[in-house]
Amino acid sequence: MRRKSRTGEALLKRYEHLLMTDDRIPICRFGIECGAGWLPFIEKCFVAVQEAVDAGVQVKVFQIKQKLGALCFYVEDLPEERGSAAHDKMRQEIVVQENAASRCCEECGLEGQNIHASMFVRSYCPACLKALFPDRF
């Protein structure tokens, strides 16, 4: 069974009102599922969601994770909200931040690249890669 990540606990606490609250939802069960190096990008996504909510968009965050070396920031919104200026601005900012994170080390936030190794794809800088996997890289 996966444990709940402690990464970004302060960030989750600050934006708690934007999170889905059902215990079956990944954000409630597992927290932020990526390294601390991506927290600045995640915070910018939360700011974009907050701005959309302030503009009247009904949206909640339900998962934040690393998948195949990229940041995935998932929100749930109402179909009728899609296409509004505030909704589109939020979505665009999330995509910008997800793309920016994929070029940075998930652990430290420095410039990194996707590393393909056995069963995973992660984004690391050379120093973190060597520290995390000293025998392999």
Q: Residue 65 corresponds to which amino acid?
A: K
User: What dihedral angle (degrees, nearest 10) is formed by the CA atoms of 23, 99, 129, 4?
Assistant: -10
Q: Which of 25-34, 53-62, 88-97 has the lowest mean pLDDT?
A: 25-34
Distances (CA, A) of 55 to 18, 49, 86: 14, 10, 6
Is pLDDT at 2 greater than 60 in this prediction? no
Q: Would you place residue 53 in the very low, low, confident or very high pLDDT band (cuts 50, 70, 90)?
A: very high
Mean pLDDT (the chain, rounded): 90
Taking the C-alpha atoms of residue 114 and residue 24, their distance in angstroms, rounded to an integer, is 30
What is the residue extent of each domain of the chain? 9-132
Is pLDDT at 29 greater than 50 in this prediction? yes
- What pLDDT does 122 receive? 87
The model's pTM is 0.90
In 3D space, the residue among 72, 70, 71, 52 whose CA is nearest the CA of residue 62 turns out to be 72
Structure-token pair, residue 5:
């990540």
Q: Provide the β-strand partners of residue 63.
A: 74
Give percent above pLDDT 90 in the chain.
Answer: 64
